[in-house]
Chain A
């Protein structure tokens, strides 16, 4: 595909439900990032993959958040037992290489609303 694709675009979950958010990065991109963006705020780092290896998960807010990228391409962010404070836009980004001069290409995000 031409860009980073995320699905679903919108997700409404009842408090306590589990959700899974999908990210299809640009083909061949080594690095994949997940960010959480609250309304009116900047994206906050959640986790980083280099191919299938999760190299950093320091930004995951709790053990209810889990991310994987088993074959080094598609990634899934799972949130268990959702809470109202999880409501946000979840952005996925990929970059060709994990180098300082490699730009991030973002998807349009998944807007999660927990009721």
Chain B
């Protein structure tokens, strides 16, 4: 029931772009994205809702394809501060209208100067 993230790890040079994918085996109604730095709390990035809405945060944006049961996170012109582990979370509430999340295994992103 947990979403599957790919790739597991990415190494970038500053200024390069990256895409992180999150796939689910069940129907998706919403996807949350969080970033966690080592030893710190996961921090909210954005929520995508059913309808293919694309949202943005700084130079980070995401899309939601409910047909493919997949969400993708796009990091453009990466900065050193983007380093961390990215998690997608999908709702496991019985009514699919809540925020009781199950998280993927994470994608570790390292941005080098």
Interfacial residues, chain A to chain B (CB-CB below 8 A)? 3-4, 31, 33, 35, 40-45, 48, 56, 91, 93, 95, 98-109
Contacts and interface: CB of A to CB of B under 8 A. Distances in A.
A106 to B, nearest CB: 4
Contacts of B102: 44-45
Nearest to A96: B99
Interface of B: 2, 29-30, 32, 34, 39-44, 47, 49, 87, 89, 91-92, 96-106
A48 B105 CA distance: 20
Contacts, number: 72
A42 B41 contact: no
Ordered nearest first, which 9 A-B pairs have the shortest CB separation?
Answer: A42-B103, A106-B41, A103-B44, A100-B30, A106-B42, A108-B41, A42-B105, A42-B106, A43-B103
A33 B32 CA distance: 15
Contacts of A40: 106
Contacts of B29: 100
B41 A41 contact: no
B105 A102 contact: no
Given A31-B99, A99-B97, A42 B47 contact: no
B63 to A, nearest CB: 17
B100 A33 contact: yes
Contacts of B30: 100-101
A98 B99 CA distance: 6
A39 to B, nearest CB: 11
B92 A107 contact: no
A99 B32 contact: no
Contacts of A3: 41
B50 to A, nearest CB: 9
Contacts of A102: 99
